[in-house]
Amino acid sequence: MAPKKIALFVEDNYNDLEFWYPYYRMKEEGYQVSIIGTGNREKFTSKQGLVAQINLSSSQVNTAEFDAVIIPGGYAPDKMRIDQDMLRIVREMNGAGKVVASICHAGWVLVSAGVLKGKQATACIMIKDDLVNAGAAYLDQEVVVDGNIITSRVPDDLPAFCREILKNLK
Protein backbone atom coordinates (compact mmCIF):
# COMPACT_ATOMS: atom_id res chain seq x y z
CA MET A 1 0.00 0.00 0.00
CA ALA A 2 1.29 3.50 -0.84
CA PRO A 3 2.31 5.65 2.15
CA LYS A 4 -0.13 8.32 3.27
CA LYS A 5 0.48 11.74 1.72
CA ILE A 6 0.52 14.98 3.65
CA ALA A 7 0.20 18.50 2.23
CA LEU A 8 2.26 21.01 4.23
CA PHE A 9 1.59 24.68 3.42
CA VAL A 10 4.35 27.27 3.25
CA GLU A 11 4.70 31.02 2.68
CA ASP A 12 7.25 33.66 3.73
CA ASN A 13 7.53 34.30 7.47
CA TYR A 14 6.42 30.80 8.37
CA ASN A 15 7.22 29.77 11.94
CA ASP A 16 10.38 27.66 11.72
CA LEU A 17 9.43 24.99 14.23
CA GLU A 18 5.73 24.78 13.35
CA PHE A 19 6.78 23.96 9.80
CA TRP A 20 9.85 21.72 10.25
CA TYR A 21 8.70 19.70 13.25
CA PRO A 22 5.60 18.29 11.47
CA TYR A 23 7.70 17.94 8.30
CA TYR A 24 10.25 15.61 9.88
CA ARG A 25 7.72 14.02 12.25
CA MET A 26 5.47 12.83 9.45
CA LYS A 27 8.54 11.53 7.59
CA GLU A 28 9.73 9.67 10.70
CA GLU A 29 6.35 7.88 10.61
CA GLY A 30 6.85 6.89 6.97
CA TYR A 31 4.45 9.36 5.39
CA GLN A 32 5.17 11.36 2.25
CA VAL A 33 5.20 15.13 2.78
CA SER A 34 4.57 17.58 -0.07
CA ILE A 35 5.46 21.21 0.56
CA ILE A 36 2.83 23.44 -1.04
CA GLY A 37 3.50 27.13 -1.81
CA THR A 38 1.46 30.00 -3.20
CA GLY A 39 1.79 31.57 -6.65
CA ASN A 40 4.74 30.72 -8.88
CA ARG A 41 7.60 30.86 -6.43
CA GLU A 42 9.97 27.98 -5.71
CA LYS A 43 11.30 29.01 -2.31
CA PHE A 44 9.96 30.56 0.86
CA THR A 45 11.83 31.90 3.88
CA SER A 46 10.95 31.42 7.55
CA LYS A 47 10.82 34.11 10.21
CA GLN A 48 14.35 33.11 11.24
CA GLY A 49 15.66 32.71 7.70
CA LEU A 50 15.38 29.01 6.84
CA VAL A 51 14.55 28.39 3.20
CA ALA A 52 11.95 25.77 2.19
CA GLN A 53 11.77 24.49 -1.37
CA ILE A 54 8.26 23.62 -2.55
CA ASN A 55 7.11 20.39 -4.19
CA LEU A 56 3.93 21.85 -5.68
CA SER A 57 2.21 25.19 -6.13
CA SER A 58 -1.22 25.32 -4.54
CA SER A 59 -2.88 25.58 -7.96
CA GLN A 60 -1.39 22.19 -8.92
CA VAL A 61 -2.81 20.30 -5.94
CA ASN A 62 -5.34 17.54 -6.54
CA THR A 63 -6.73 16.95 -3.06
CA ALA A 64 -7.82 13.41 -3.96
CA GLU A 65 -4.15 12.46 -3.63
CA PHE A 66 -3.74 13.72 -0.07
CA ASP A 67 -4.73 12.39 3.35
CA ALA A 68 -4.09 15.47 5.43
CA VAL A 69 -3.21 19.14 5.21
CA ILE A 70 -1.04 20.77 7.90
CA ILE A 71 -0.74 24.55 8.14
CA PRO A 72 2.09 26.14 10.16
CA GLY A 73 1.85 29.54 11.81
CA GLY A 74 4.08 32.60 11.97
CA TYR A 75 2.86 35.45 9.78
CA ALA A 76 2.78 33.19 6.71
CA PRO A 77 -0.98 32.58 7.14
CA ASP A 78 -1.55 36.34 6.59
CA LYS A 79 -0.61 35.63 2.97
CA MET A 80 -1.91 32.05 2.66
CA ARG A 81 -5.44 33.18 3.48
CA ILE A 82 -5.70 35.28 0.31
CA ASP A 83 -4.47 32.43 -1.91
CA GLN A 84 -7.66 31.04 -3.42
CA ASP A 85 -6.13 27.63 -4.11
CA MET A 86 -5.00 27.14 -0.53
CA LEU A 87 -8.56 27.95 0.56
CA ARG A 88 -9.90 25.50 -2.03
CA ILE A 89 -7.57 22.78 -0.73
CA VAL A 90 -8.72 23.33 2.86
CA ARG A 91 -12.41 23.26 1.83
CA GLU A 92 -12.02 20.12 -0.30
CA MET A 93 -10.03 18.25 2.34
CA ASN A 94 -12.55 19.27 4.98
CA GLY A 95 -15.47 18.30 2.75
CA ALA A 96 -13.89 14.87 2.32
CA GLY A 97 -13.49 14.47 6.06
CA LYS A 98 -9.70 14.36 5.83
CA VAL A 99 -7.36 15.83 8.47
CA VAL A 100 -7.20 19.64 8.43
CA ALA A 101 -4.64 20.77 11.00
CA SER A 102 -3.56 24.31 11.89
CA ILE A 103 -1.35 25.73 14.59
CA CYS A 104 -1.01 29.27 15.96
CA HIS A 105 -1.86 32.04 13.41
CA ALA A 106 -2.70 29.37 10.83
CA GLY A 107 -6.20 29.48 12.27
CA TRP A 108 -6.71 32.45 9.91
CA VAL A 109 -6.58 30.09 6.94
CA LEU A 110 -9.41 28.06 8.43
CA VAL A 111 -11.34 31.29 9.08
CA SER A 112 -10.98 32.41 5.46
CA ALA A 113 -11.81 28.92 4.16
CA GLY A 114 -15.02 29.12 6.17
CA VAL A 115 -14.68 25.71 7.80
CA LEU A 116 -14.95 26.70 11.48
CA LYS A 117 -18.68 27.44 11.79
CA GLY A 118 -19.99 25.46 14.77
CA LYS A 119 -16.65 23.84 15.44
CA GLN A 120 -14.46 23.72 18.53
CA ALA A 121 -10.97 25.01 17.83
CA THR A 122 -7.90 26.74 19.23
CA ALA A 123 -5.13 29.06 17.99
CA CYS A 124 -2.78 31.61 19.50
CA ILE A 125 -4.67 34.04 21.69
CA MET A 126 -4.14 37.00 19.35
CA ILE A 127 -6.58 35.63 16.81
CA LYS A 128 -9.17 34.26 19.20
CA ASP A 129 -11.64 37.01 18.20
CA ASP A 130 -11.28 36.13 14.51
CA LEU A 131 -12.09 32.47 15.23
CA VAL A 132 -15.09 33.35 17.37
CA ASN A 133 -16.38 35.82 14.76
CA ALA A 134 -16.05 33.01 12.20
CA GLY A 135 -18.38 30.83 14.26
CA ALA A 136 -15.94 28.70 16.26
CA ALA A 137 -16.02 27.89 19.98
CA TYR A 138 -12.51 28.82 21.12
CA LEU A 139 -10.85 26.53 23.70
CA ASP A 140 -7.59 27.41 25.44
CA GLN A 141 -5.87 23.99 25.43
CA GLU A 142 -2.77 22.51 23.78
CA VAL A 143 -4.72 20.68 21.12
CA VAL A 144 -8.40 20.65 20.13
CA VAL A 145 -9.78 17.82 18.02
CA ASP A 146 -13.24 18.36 16.52
CA GLY A 147 -13.74 15.53 14.05
CA ASN A 148 -11.17 15.99 11.30
CA ILE A 149 -10.17 19.48 12.42
CA ILE A 150 -7.10 19.51 14.67
CA THR A 151 -5.81 22.81 16.07
CA SER A 152 -3.06 23.95 18.45
CA ARG A 153 -1.83 27.26 19.88
CA VAL A 154 1.95 27.65 19.93
CA PRO A 155 5.26 25.82 19.22
CA ASP A 156 5.29 24.20 22.68
CA ASP A 157 2.06 22.41 21.69
CA LEU A 158 3.82 20.63 18.80
CA PRO A 159 4.15 17.25 20.56
CA ALA A 160 0.39 17.17 21.32
CA PHE A 161 -0.45 18.56 17.88
CA CYS A 162 1.45 15.85 16.01
CA ARG A 163 0.32 13.10 18.36
CA GLU A 164 -3.33 13.86 17.49
CA ILE A 165 -2.64 14.19 13.76
CA LEU A 166 -0.90 10.81 13.77
CA LYS A 167 -3.66 9.20 15.85
CA ASN A 168 -6.23 10.43 13.34
CA LEU A 169 -4.21 9.26 10.32
CA LYS A 170 -3.86 5.67 11.55
Residues lying near its own copies in the complex (CB under 8 A) are found at 16-17, 20-21, 24-25, 27-28, 46, 48-50, 75, 78-79, 81-82, 105, 108, 111-112, 125-127, 129-130, 133-134, 155, 158-160, 162-163
131: Cβ–Cβ under 8 A, 6 or more apart, which residues? 107, 110, 111, 116, 121, 123, 138
What does the radius of gyration of the chain's CA atoms come to, in whole angstroms?
A: 14
Q: Which is nearer to its own copies, 60 or 125 (CB)?
A: 125
Task: Check: CB of residue 30 under 8 Å from CB of residue 2.
Answer: no
Catalytic residue numbers read 105
CA dist., res. 134 & res. 131, Å (int): 5
3-state helix, strand, coil in the chain (%, to 5): 40, 25, 35
How near is the Cβ of 123 to its own copies at its closest, in Å? 12
How near is the Cβ of 120 to its own copies at its closest, in Å? 17
Q: Which is nearer to its own copies, 137 or 160 (CB)?
A: 160
Q: Which is nearer to its own copies, 20 or 59 (CB)?
A: 20
How near is the Cβ of 95 to its own copies at its closest, in Å? 19
